[in-house]
């Protein structure tokens, strides 16, 4: 166990690594996992209590085919390459992945002209199987729940779906299993380039020394670079509202349907997630960094957008609204910003990873590692690197015999905690003790789905709090929802005889 | 362990306890399955008085109400399975020996039990922030009122210190008093509608006694905070319930409680293919509380949300005895739906009546029709019509959405009705 | 002085409009469907009473750390916070039976605080 959790005592002695990745979102985790195959002492520093807790967690989870990015951009290249790598990535890392295909829907001649351009883009980007359909019947044959008003569509059979935090967590855990150290609750507060060429990186709890830095700090990648005196680009935040519907919302197994984008927005996509909920995402408005508020305007746009494309959706069945921000590198043609710093040797930017960051991740990791190699980072393959990661048992997916077996092995699997998603105490305990540990209610939710159902943790939150408290050896009032400061409980109602006497 | 019963009751709250007791009394061999580690259901956390006035003719607290039923059940040979979660019900068929197959798990394993009749009594859950789409940040400190009630009354844990409550439903009002008594501060209760949703006694005893303001036609339009709730923004709403721009007010607080309604919890019912009523989110039932699946009955808050536990008990007792009759007599003696003997009537509701339970009644039996109005009616006259023909007319009186009503329509009035009747209300000036 | 009172004796929730004189005597009352409403209103005007329900800590129980309790009769509202303070200082041990007296004769009223349920 090398993961350092918040509760560990302060240690001011220097931790020394060859390379430090700052940021444990999908990009940081994918790069860490790719680097874990080499003899390189690697650490990842993450400011949040969990991996995937920034942009990665509030995201449509689409593995886009790659028809949208402008031809010739790095984004277009990594999107299409990443998409093709996903089958194998999912097989090795054990996360759920499904090739659903998707359609961009058009209604009139103006839309058709856009779709023709998109088809051309797709061909230039090398998107396999892309097809322009001019026949409503064919559109409805591919997705019967699409609106019958649809006249034209671009169909890309290679579009897929993942649960984005599942991918990041699997990549992280596989990296940890192969020797990478993750430091959670560790915001970087200072970076100093020493005379010998090494970097000294400070966090509130520890100080690190390393030779190379990969800056994958998402919305704050530019701010982190500025800590080291590197001022080469700006990140601006493109905010998106999202909403999740009940599993019973009139629509089942909906293929992702995109509208024609307007100049302001890529448009509202509707799809059924791997867990069976309809997800509608996302609006696009530039806002302040770290503004993950939901906006009433955005929620209305989502509902309008989804009903325009999807037939039979009961829009009253919303169970959650949320929002995320995509990191956009300013004045960069909407492209990723992945390059070595021009002013600081051994500093590598992995920034501006807006959509399709999830789709690109496996290709991005290979691209970054190649960039590191070309810039002198010594990469010698390990003999015993194990690319295989296995997700722990999902009780609700097991056969009756499998469920019975699991209960026999551990009675905790016979105790249902989350009744909406059928999550057992056994699964929650297992999630808490994975490496890195799940130490918050949201971290448990991301790994087990406890609290993701229609009651939104109304029944199970108190149980999850008590299990976290017991397993981590902390008081219930020290259990957090997510980041530092997100306390749930403030202490006992009845302190007992002592407190009462004090007042009297 | 026995593997087959006449009647299996799912849920050990007031509905399940009452149904099990009656089914047992009728001579059936009964098992009751409860997911928690003790019986009583949500009554265990409803420590306030106000229960039992109708049924026990005495004012009881929630735990007392539950304890009386639990003590009665303990004196029977009904099998009680605690900490046991039903995963699914496979309805009876020829292949499975005409028994409903109930799959459940507990710490000792996974089991399938057979039952001639099943009573669904799983209760309800609370509506959440997501369902009413409150904008703002996703910080900690937003709780449904029932979850906060569990923390405070069962687990000895405080969910915050300065509270805003959205929704004037009974649980929210009751919590306002509990929080005040336990030294936490309630800054105000905000209600979207122009009237209070809870029982009037609760407005009086839970808010007025403690000087807590109730703001009508006002709602929370934003949750503010970085990690934990730091404030909420409230706004007045217009007659279409839309926030009025310029009326926003920011209330600093650390906790937002939501008391915005309850929804029957029919996950298990769905596995059996039970047809649901979109108006109640509960099963469509006939006057024996039988669902669309023969031999599966439904009662209590899983059928439709009640405001009094006493009404739950009365309804569940009927469901329990009908389930026992079904099991012991080998089927419906006089089914109220799906049979073409010409005696079946479908009941529907017309505004301002929001819904009716049951949906199917018979011409040859008196019908107890439960209903609720969607909005307060000062001087309402209940009218039951078959087509254009009026078959029943009530006396003018006030109706409130917070109170579930019951109207008995005698068989002699139903005899001449067609196969559909409508329950509506006329408003007198 | 005119007052509106909600009788909470039974679920009918009669709303009474009462007029009281300076000695807190009811001069007139309308709206009650039965005589219990008037009795309720008389008390409500002079010294309102409510059943108080709360919890006390319980030790040694398998599933519970709190025991719900109530007063066995309506207690003057003005005494509720006094009794809450006494309950905060109180702890019991399992087993407890419904109706067991937890605090006898609170504030000299002759009213007891009793257990609302049994805990083994």
**Number of folded domains that form chain C:** 2
Going by pLDDT thresholds of 50, 70 and 90, the confidence category of residue B223 is very high
Instruction: Confirm if A344 and B154 have CB atoms less than 8 A apart.
Output: no
Which of A494, A495, A500 has the CB atom closest to C66's CB atom? A494
**Pairing relation of β-strands A212-215 and A19-22?**
parallel
What is the average pLDDT value for chain B, to the nearest integer?
A: 94
Whether C6 and B201 lie within 8 Å, measured CB to CB: yes
Chains linked to B by 3 or more Cβ pairs within 8 Å? A, C
Going by pLDDT thresholds of 50, 70 and 90, the confidence category of residue B403 is confident
Whether B147 and A462 lie within 8 Å, measured CB to CB: yes
- Give the pLDDT confidence score for residue A5 in this predicted structure: 45
Structural domain harbouring C28: 2-46
User: For residue A448, what are the CA distances in angstroms to A29, A60, A409, A435, A445?
Assistant: 19, 19, 19, 15, 5
What average pLDDT does the segment B294-320 reach?
A: 96
- Give the pLDDT confidence score for residue A498 in this predicted structure: 47
CA closest to A499 among chain C residues? C89
Instruction: Confirm if A448 and A428 have CB atoms less than 8 A apart.
Output: yes
Whether B49 and C51 lie within 8 Å, measured CB to CB: yes
**Which of A3-12, A130-139, A317-326, A345-354 is least confident?**
A3-12
Instruction: Confirm if A203 and A257 have CB atoms less than 8 A apart.
Output: no
Q: Is the predicted pLDDT of residue B133 greater than 80, yes or no?
A: yes
Any B CB within 8 A of C68 CB? yes
| C15 in the same domain as C60 | no
Is residue C73 domain-resident?
A: yes
Instruction: Confirm if B368 and B287 have CB atoms less than 8 A apart.
Output: yes
Distance CA B64, CA B47 (A): 8
Give Cβ neighbours of residue B422 (< 8 Å, ≥ 6 apart).
B347, B348, B349, B350, B384, B385, B386
pLDDT single digits (tens) A53-101:
999 999 899 999 999 999 999 999 999 999 999 999 999 999 999 999 9
| C59 in the same domain as C42 | no
| C83 in the same domain as C38 | no
Q: Which residue has the tokens 């009404």?
A: B311
Is residue C7 domain-resident?
A: yes
**Pairing relation of β-strands B377-386 and B420-427?**
antiparallel
Distance CA A291, CA A29 (A): 23
Going by pLDDT thresholds of 50, 70 and 90, the confidence category of residue B188 is very high
The pLDDT > 70 percentage for chain B reads: 98
Whether C91 and A497 lie within 8 Å, measured CB to CB: yes
The pLDDT > 90 percentage for chain B reads: 88
Q: Which residue has the tokens 């070309």?
A: A374
Assigned token pair, B124? 């309800």
One fold for both B4-125+263-329 and B128-260?
yes
Distance CA A491, CA A481 (A): 15
Instruction: Confirm if A163 and A148 have CB atoms less than 8 A apart.
Output: no
The count of other CB atoms within 10 Å of the CB of residue A28 is 32
Instruction: Confirm if A65 and A158 have CB atoms less than 8 A apart.
Output: yes
What is the ipTM score, two decimals? 0.95
Any C CB within 8 A of B308 CB? yes
All domains of chain A in start order, with CATH: 1-97+159-234+332-391 (3.50.50.60), 98-158+236-329 (3.30.9.10), 395-478 (1.10.10)
| C66 in the same domain as C32 | no
| C96 in the same domain as C77 | yes
| C78 in the same domain as C111 | yes
Distance CA B280, CA B291 (A): 14
**Pairing relation of β-strands B60-61 and B4-10?**
unpaired
Instruction: State which fold the B128-260 domain adopts.
Output: FAD/NAD(P)-binding domain (3.50.50)
| C69 in the same domain as C106 | yes
Beta strand segments in B191-260, E: 214-215, 218-224, 231-236, 249-252, 255-258
| C57 in the same domain as C111 | yes
Assigned token pair, B13? 């709250």
The neighbouring-strand residues paired with A43 are A20, A181
The neighbouring-strand residues paired with A15 are A208
Distance CA A241, CA A359 (A): 20
Per DSSP, the three-state class of B99 is coil
Instruction: Confirm if B156 and B365 have CB atoms less than 8 A apart.
Output: no
Q: Sort B170 into a burial class: Cβ within 10 Å, 0-12 / 13-18 / 19+.
A: buried
Is residue C57 domain-resident?
A: yes
Length of chain A: 504
CATH placement of domain B4-125+263-329: 3.50.50.60
For residue A18, the distance in angstroms to the closest alpha carbon of chain B comes to: 34
Which of B125, B140, B152 has the CB atom closest to A481's CB atom? B140
What is the average pLDDT value for chain A, to the nearest integer?
A: 94
Q: Is the predicted pLDDT of residue A323 greater than 80, yes or no?
A: yes
- Residue boundaries of the structural domains of chain B: 4-125+263-329, 128-260, 344-427
Q: At residue B344, what are phi and psi to the nearest 5 degrees?
A: -95, 140
Is residue C120 domain-resident?
A: no
Residue B10: which of B36, B26, B31, B38 has the closest Cα? Answer: B31
| C77 in the same domain as C25 | no
Instruction: Confirm if A86 and A63 have CB atoms less than 8 A apart.
Output: yes
Distance CA A475, CA A465 (A): 9
Distance CA A34, CA A77 (A): 19
| C42 in the same domain as C66 | no
The answer, yes or no, to whether the previous bond of A282 is cis (omega within 30 of 0) is: yes
pLDDT single digits (tens) C41-62:
999 999 999 999 999 999 999 9
| C82 in the same domain as C34 | no
Whether C86 and A500 lie within 8 Å, measured CB to CB: yes
Any C CB within 8 A of A503 CB? yes
| C31 in the same domain as C70 | no
């Amino acid at each position: 166990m090398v993961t350092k959790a918040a509760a560990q005592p302060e240690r001011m002695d220097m931790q020394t690594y060859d390379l430090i990745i700052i940021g444990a979102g999908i990009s940081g985790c994918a790069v860490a996992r790719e680097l874990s195959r080499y003899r390189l002492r690697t650490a990842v520093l993450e400011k949040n209590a969990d991996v995937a807790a920034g942009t990665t967690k509030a995201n449509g989870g689409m593995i886009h085919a790659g028809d949208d990015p402008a031809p010739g951009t790095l984004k277009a290249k990594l999107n299409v390459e990443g998409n093709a790598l996903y089958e194998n990535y999912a097989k090795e890392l054990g996360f759920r992945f499904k090739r659903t295909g998707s359609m961009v829907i058009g209604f009139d001649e103006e839309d058709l002209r856009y779709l023709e351009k998109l088809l051309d883009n797709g061909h230039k980007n090398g998107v396999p199987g892309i097809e322009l359909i001019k026949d409503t019947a064919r559109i409805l044959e591919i997705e019967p729940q699409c609106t019958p008003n649809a006249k034209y569509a671009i169909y890309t059979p290679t579009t897929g779906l993942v649960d984005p935090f599942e991918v990041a967590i699997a990549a992280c855990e596989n990296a940890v299993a192969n020797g990478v150290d993750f430091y959670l609750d560790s915001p970087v507060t200072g970076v100093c380039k020493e005379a010998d060429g090494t970097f000294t990186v400070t966090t509130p709890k520890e100080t690190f020394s390393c030779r190379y830095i990969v800056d994958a700090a998402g919305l704050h990648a530019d701010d982190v670079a500025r800590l080291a005196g590197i001022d080469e680009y700006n990140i601006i935040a493109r905010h998106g509202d999202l909403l999740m519907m009940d599993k019973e919302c009139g629509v089942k197994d909906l293929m992702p349907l995109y509208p024609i984008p307007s100049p302001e927005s890529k448009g509202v996509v509707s799809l059924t997630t791997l867990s069976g909920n309809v997800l509608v995402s996302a609006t696009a408005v530039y806002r302040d960094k770290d503004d993950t508020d939901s906006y009433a305007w955005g929620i209305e746009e989502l509902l309008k957008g989804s009903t325009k494309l999807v037939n039979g959706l009961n829009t009253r069945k919303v169970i959650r609204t949320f929002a995320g921000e995509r990191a956009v590198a300013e004045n960069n043609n909407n492209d990723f910003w992945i390059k070595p710093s021009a002013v600081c040797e051994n500093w590598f930017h992995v920034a501006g990873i807006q959509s399709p960051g999830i789709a690109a991740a496996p290709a991005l990791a290979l691209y970054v590692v190649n960039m590191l190699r070309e810039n002198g980072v010594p990469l010698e393959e390990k003999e015993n690197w194990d690319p295989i990661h296995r997700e722990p048992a999902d009780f609700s997916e097991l056969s009756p015999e499998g469920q019975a077996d699991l209960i026999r092995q551990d009675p905790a699997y016979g105790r249902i905690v989350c009744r909406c998603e059928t999550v057992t105490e056994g699964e929650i305990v297992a999630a808490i003790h994975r490496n890195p540990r799940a130490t918050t209610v949201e971290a448990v939710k991301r790994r087990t789905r406890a609290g993701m159902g229609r009651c939104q943790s109304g029944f199970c939150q108190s149980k999850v709090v008590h299990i976290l408290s017991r397993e981590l050896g902390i008081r219930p009032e020290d259990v957090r929802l997510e980041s530092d400061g997100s306390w749930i409980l403030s202490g006992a109602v009845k302190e007992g005889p002592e407190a009462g006497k004090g007042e009297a | 362990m026995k593997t087959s019963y006449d009647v299996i009751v799912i849920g050990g709250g007031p509905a399940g306890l009452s149904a099990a007791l009656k089914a047992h009394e009728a001579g059936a061999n009964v098992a009751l399955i409860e997911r928690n580690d003790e019986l009583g259901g949500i009554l265990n956390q409803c420590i306030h008085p106000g229960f039992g006035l109708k049924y026990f003719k005495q004012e009881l607290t929630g735990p007392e109400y539950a304890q009386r039923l639990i003590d009665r059940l303990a004196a029977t040979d009904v099998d009680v399975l605690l900490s046991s979660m039903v995963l699914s019900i496979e309805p009876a068929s020829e292949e499975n020996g005409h028994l409903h197959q109930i799959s459940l798990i507990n710490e000792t394993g996974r089991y399938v039990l057979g039952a001639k009749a099943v009573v669904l009594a799983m209760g309800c859950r609370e509506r959440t922030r997501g369902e009413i789409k409150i904008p703002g940040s996703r910080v900690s400190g937003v709780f449904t009122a029932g979850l906060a009630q569990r923390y405070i009354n069962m687990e000895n844990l405080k969910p915050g210190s300065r509270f805003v409550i959205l929704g004037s439903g009974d649980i929210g009002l009751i919590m306002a008093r509990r929080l005040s008594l336990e030294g936490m501060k309630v800054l105000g209760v905000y209600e979207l509608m122009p009237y209070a949703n809870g029982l009037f006694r609760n407005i009086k005893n839970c808010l007025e006694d403690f000087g807590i303001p109730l703001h009508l036609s006002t709602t929370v339009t934003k949750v503010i905070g970085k990690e934990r709730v730091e404030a909420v923004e409230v706004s007045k709403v217009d007659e279409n319930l839309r926030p009025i721009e310029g009326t926003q007010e920011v209330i600093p607080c650390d906790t937002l409680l939501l008391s915005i309604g309850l929804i029957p919890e029919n996950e298990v019912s769905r596995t059996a293919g039970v047809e649901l009523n979109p108006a109640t989110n509960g099963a469509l039932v006939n006057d024996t509380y039988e669902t669309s699946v023969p031999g599966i009955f439904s009662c209590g808050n899983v059928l439709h949300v009640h405001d009094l536990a006493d009404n739950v008990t009365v309804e569940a007792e009927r469901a329990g005895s009908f389930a026992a009759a079904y099991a012991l007599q080998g089927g419906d003696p006089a089914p109220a739906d799906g049979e073409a003997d010409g005696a079946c009537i479908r009941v529907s509701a017309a505004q301002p009546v929001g819904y009716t339970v049951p949906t199917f009644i018979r011409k040859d039996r008196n019908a107890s029709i439960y209903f609720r109005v969607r909005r307060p009616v000062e001087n309402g006259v209940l009218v039951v019509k078959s087509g254009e023909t009026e078959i029943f007319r009530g006396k003018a009186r006030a109706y409130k959405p917070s109170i579930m009503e019951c109207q008995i329509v005698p068989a002699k009035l139903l005899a001449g009705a067609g196969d559909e009747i409508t329950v509506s209300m006329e408003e007198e000036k | 002085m005119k007052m509106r009172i909600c009788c909470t004796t039974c679920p009918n929730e009669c709303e009474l409009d009462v007029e009281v004189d300076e000695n807190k005597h009811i001069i007139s009352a309308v709206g009650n469907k039965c005589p219990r409403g008037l009795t309720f209103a008389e008390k409500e005007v002079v010294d309102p009473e409510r059943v108080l329900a709360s919890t006390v800590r319980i030790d040694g129980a398998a599933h519970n750390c709190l025991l719900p309790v109530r007063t066995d009769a309506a207690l003057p509202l003005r005494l509720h916070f006094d009794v809450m303070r006494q309950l905060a200082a109180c702890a019991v041990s399992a087993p407890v039976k419904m109706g067991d007296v937890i605090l006898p004769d609170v504030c000299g009223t002759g009213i007891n605080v009793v257990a609302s349920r049994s805990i083994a």
